[in-house]
Every structure is written in structure tokens, then in C-alpha cells.
Amino acid sequence: MISFLRRAAEDRQGAAALEFALIFPVLFVLHIAAVEALGVYQAQRNVAHIASAMADITAQNRSVSTEELDDILLASVSMIHPFPNVDLQQRVSSLSANGSGSVSTDWTVKKAYSGVSAPSVPSGYLKPNESVIVTDVVYDYRPTFGLFLPATIRFTRHAYVRPRLSVKVDKVP
């Protein structure tokens, strides 16, 4: 019996399989965590890109119609791909400061936007008689596996772009 145990202790066949069986769960968990982290990063980058693209496209006009703004909102929805767009909220607004520096909203267009606060700019951003296009994008990201992250992660991004061709982008009917 002792010789059998001695031979079994010296036998190295199957050692690699045993080591793989021990390390595989750790590698699997690391792989899933990396996939989740990449998905979160990609979703937040897409949301930031949507906000900046909407503001940039709107700021390139002297005036925009409701139909043109609807097209901008609709086109930017495709930028969230490969994630589902059902949880994407968008708002495009024009804000301007009067001669005394008081900031007011000129116009706002929304798509599935549920926020109740008015669009705003950071304090001191607008000087008297200046204007800016402000976009707000909100996206509720749901992780693929949900093993390491909360069920929903809300990304909120804002973009501020000054009009390029005029002092203010007017909205025409």
C-alpha cells in the first residue's frame, strides 16, 4: 500500500489538467469583468460623442427648423449602436445672454427626454450678447452579464458649442 501511495505521489500525469481546472474559474471571471468594463466604457464614450455631435451639427447653422432638429435627434440615435437605443434621452437647446448678462432659453427640442430641469450653462460661461447651443444626453446602460455592476448605470453628458456662422442659431417654424 505504501508503494502505491509513493508511486501516486511521484506520478505527474494530469498535473496540467489539474492546474487548468484550478485556474480556469479565475480566468473566466477576469474575462467577464473585462467584457463588462469595456461595455461600460464604450457606452459612456458613445453618449459623450452623441452630445458633442448634436451640438456641433446644430451650431453650424444660422437657423434651424423643427424638421431639421428632429433629423439631428433621429440621426444621433444611430450613434449609440451597438447598444439598444430605447433608453436614450436627448435635448438640444439654444441659450443666450442679454446685454446685462442674464441667460435665457431661446428654444428647446427634446426626444424622449424626461428631465425636468431647464437647460443651463456653467456660471460665467456666457458673456453679454453671446449664445450657445447646449445638448443634454442621458442613457441608461444595462450591463450584459450584470455579475459585477449595478443593474442600470445612468450616463449623463452635456455639450456646449458656440454658433459658428452667426451670433445665435435661430429656430424657424
Cβ proximity of 115 and 91 under 8 Å: yes
Rg (CA), the chain: 27
Contacts of 111 (CB under 8 A, 6+ apart): 70, 73, 74, 77, 89, 90, 91
- Distances, alpha carbon 94 to alpha carbons 43, 52, 130, 141, 142, in Å: 26, 14, 11, 27, 31
Mean model confidence pLDDT for the chain: 90
pLDDT (average), residues 161-173: 92
Q: What is the model's pLDDT at position 9?
A: 67
What's the CA gap between 168 and 132, in Å, rounded? Answer: 7
- Distances, alpha carbon 116 to alpha carbons 54, 91, 119, 146, 167, in Å: 20, 11, 9, 29, 28
- Kindly tell me if the per-residue pLDDT of 51 is higher than 70: yes
What's the CA gap between 103 and 96, in Å, rounded? Answer: 5
Task: Quick: pLDDT tens for 93-140.
Answer: 999 999 888 999 999 999 999 988 999 999 889 999 999 999 999 999
What's the CA gap between 11 and 166, in Å, rounded? Answer: 82
pLDDT level of residue 149 (50, 70, 90 thresholds): confident
Q: Whole-structure pTM over 0.85, yes or no?
A: no
Helix (H, G, I), strand (E, B) or coil at 91: strand
pLDDT level of residue 151 (50, 70, 90 thresholds): confident
pLDDT level of residue 8 (50, 70, 90 thresholds): low
